[in-house]
A and B are shown apart, each in its own frame.
Chain A
Amino acid sequence: MTVIEVTDLQRRYRSRSGVFKRTTRVVEAVRGIDFAVERGELFGLLGPNGAGKTTTIKMLITLLLPSGGAARVLGYDVVEDAREVRRRVGYVFGGDRGLYERLCALDNLRYFAELYAVAPREQAARIGELLELVGLKGHEHERVEGYSRGMRQRLHIARGLLHRPEVLFLDEPSIGIDPVGARELRATVAALVEGGTTVLLTTHYMFEADELCDRIAVIADGRIVAEGTPDELKAGSSAGQVVEVEVYGSAEFALDGLRALRGVTSVIVEVRDQAQVVVVRSGGVGDLTQHVLDALEGVNRGKVTARQPTLEDAYVELVAGA
């Protein structure tokens, strides 16, 4: 059964500036996207900042009206049947905001339990169960203003699950959480899907999407540029192999030489900890490593790694080509 159905969905933002001479600027945030999510599926929406992920989610949870096209969640139209949609979906976003800082976790959850019409006799048990699930048991009487970012994020998740939503929208839920917290979050999300909840997830972390998602849509500049399982997206990548070389000092002068190598599809420089890493992707099948090292002659080098393309490689290629 299709739980989320999106057809030619569009959203434009208008902004005005100027005092005496008012000018209107129109931004096309979502430019006619189509996708469908089946019951019990974990669907990922990946894309760079400003690609239209959050706008899409906000239209699906009825916070924004679409400028065109249509979307249905659990068979309800997001424009005409907004309350029916709201009753059945949960929304969790990443970051520090979205909580009542001066209240304790328990009061935050009590308030939203009322707003989501959780039966009074069930509230205490449900809140206790969720506090246990997200690991905040024992901290429920502390004010949220004293919480760490990870604790806030876990409280967000508990809030989003209070009314046992059939569909859960997670908008970059792991942003700013430490690795242990992020791992626990992934385990919680996986358990929810196991329990039958349909999840739509946006994230910047490719390994997270790779580990969790059944299917992924890559969105760039308001358009879906690819859709499929993580393996299908990786297989679609033109990078037959990837060579990564740690470099110290400037390697700029060598980059053009790398790009000129036969079969090389992209060369980027990433900063990881103290080092810069030159990532060379090639569609060719021959051994690329020696050619890359030759081209980097004269550059102070560290560790060299040759590997198969990952979801991130496929993503970078898709977004760069959009």
Chain B
Amino acid sequence: MSIDLLLEGLIFGVFVGCFYAAVSIGLSIAFGLLDVPHIAHASFLVLAAYMTFLLGSYGIDPLLAGLIILIPFFALGAVVYRFYYEAFEKRGTDAGVRGIAFFFGIAFIVQVILSLVFGLDQRSVAASYIGSSLGLGEMRIPWRLIVALLVAVGLVLALNLYLSRTFQGRAMRAVAQDPWALKAIGANPVMTKQWAFGLATAATAIGGALLIIVSPVEPSLDRVYIGRTFCVVVLAGLGSMSGTLIAGIMLGVIESLVLTAFGASWAPAVAFGLLLLVLGLRPQGLFGR
């Protein structure tokens, strides 16, 4: 195994890891901050990818399409959370288990609708940064991965600013820890969580646009991402945006190095091996408090 190959593996791991972070950031808010067992997250990613594809068929650039679908996805998230709250969360302690069933149902419905509307064949988008690469000496880096890195970093910076500098953002961080205290300072915890879940779903819309930029999509693609996104969020420490980026990069780098050094069959074990290790040694995650 040459040093050059390992070095390239390291660099590509960073790019792929940023992509993992970008597709996990919505879950980091929904599950990490709000404690909502959002196992339909990966299905929402695929849904957003298909919406990007739909807009792409009218000649709209995939990144622009990701921005266009932000607002509808925010509304979708707000509606889904309200329903979840009224039907499960408000009613008591077993909301978690029933919530998992609820979100599983949503994931299933999304997949069926996508299959019926778009068919089962894979769908992709076209853009100047898809299928081309940037040459750096001997190394060529695909532009689609560079785009993923830039979007992931931008998304994390924007969310960090929002969560730390605005009243609504700080309320979102507080709501999962102490909703009663939040009420005491005049904020409505349910509305705050509804807003936050909307924001999480809007972030997922951007992740979905990246998903179809990085690779073609099909209705059942969520199964590939559900494990990885939960791994990144738990590894980061629940609710940490910067932590999500670092955890994504860690996962990408370790997967890439394991793949280069030991073979591709070991790569999937990395995500779940890391997850087990973190849960055992540091249950609050690497960057959680």
Co-assembled chains A and B: no
